[in-house]
Amino acid sequence: MEKNNSLLIMAAGASSRMKQSLESSSLGPSVKNKAQKLHKSLIPLGPKGEPLLYYLINNAYQAGYNSIYLITSEENQSFKEYLNQWKQKGYFTAIKFYFAPQSIPEGREKPLGTADAVQQALMQYPELRKTTFTVCNGDNLYSSHVFERLATPRNAPHALISYARSGLRFSDERISKFAVMHIDSSGFLKEIIEKPDLSEVEQYRDQSGELRVSMNIFSFNGGLLYPYLVKCPLHPQRDEKELPEALRLLNQAAPQQVVCLPVKEHLPDLTSAEDISIFSKEL
């Protein structure tokens, strides 16, 4: 497999959990106001006042990615303004940026989910169906090391990062809201278990005794993935087409094509309003 130089960043969600938690947070009025108006990946953070998206792109840039596709809502002027500011400052000049707006189907009030987001991006940019690319959330600060691992050539057509639970500085309660991975003895994905019952978690520890967590960063062969994005069903409760479900269908049809790459490190996660303060301290 050739080196993977393309990255899709999913930033089309409504940031509803973040906005709902703003009122009860300890943030100042100015930060609350900006967080209410902007997508959470664009909220100013840290001493430089740059948003999470800046740090995320910088880590991908350090790892050698030179094509970045921003999956946003159709109202994406704020994203374009930031890219123009960075261009004027001379940032990321070696990267080609592309926008992939995720349209909302008629009769719905919110996007159709992450599988639909990637499907729409592959429809808008058919060249992605002829190559391998990385795809990640826009509200997590994935490290350069993680991006490098997914960009490195490998034999398997697909890959994802399996985070060691012991490296994630989250409470057990918060971990329980993530997805646990079931990995076979050869390092291939058997199953992703969303929000597992605490009584079931122990059975999914790997051969080293580590619990592995999926934090939604993957590398896919676009041509092989695309049919499963199209046929991905709506989640019965959340009413969205979700990327992990498309991956489950793909893996079920042809096992041992999704390799799990183990990593032990923390992953800053921007979910609630209080995470803004935590992020600012870590940057």
CATH of the domain at 105: 3.90.550.10
User: Encoding tokens for residue 114?
Assistant: 């992450």
Top pLDDT among 282 and 26 is at: 282
**Predicted pLDDT at 178:** 86
pLDDT in tens, 8-32: 999 986 555 555 555 555 556 666 6
C-beta atoms surrounding 262 within 10 Å: 17
Range of the domain at 30: 6-282
Average pLDDT over residues 182-188: 94
User: E strands of 103-166, at which residues?
Assistant: 132-137, 158-164
Average pLDDT over residues 236-254: 94
Average pLDDT over residues 239-267: 95
Task: Say if 1 falls within a structural domain.
Answer: no
- As for how many domains the chain has, the answer is 1
C-beta atoms surrounding 238 within 10 Å: 9
Q: Residue 15 carries which side chain, given as an amino acid letter?
A: S
Q: What are phi and psi of 250, to 5 degrees?
A: -60, -45
Average pLDDT over residues 157-163: 97
Average pLDDT over residues 82-107: 96
User: What's the CA gap between 167 and 151, in Å, rounded?
Assistant: 22
Is residue 214 within 8 Å of residue 160, measured between CB atoms?
Answer: yes
pLDDT in tens, 119-128: 999 999 999 9
Our measurement of the distance from residue 240's CA atom to the centroid of its chain's CA atoms, rounded to an integer in Å, reads: 16
Mean pLDDT of the chain: 89
Is residue 219 within 8 Å of residue 160, measured between CB atoms?
Answer: yes
Top pLDDT among 17 and 114 is at: 114
Side-chain-side CA neighbours of residue 95 (13 Å): 27
pLDDT band at 48 (very low <50, low <70, confident <90, very high): confident
Task: Say if 93 falls within a structural domain.
Answer: yes
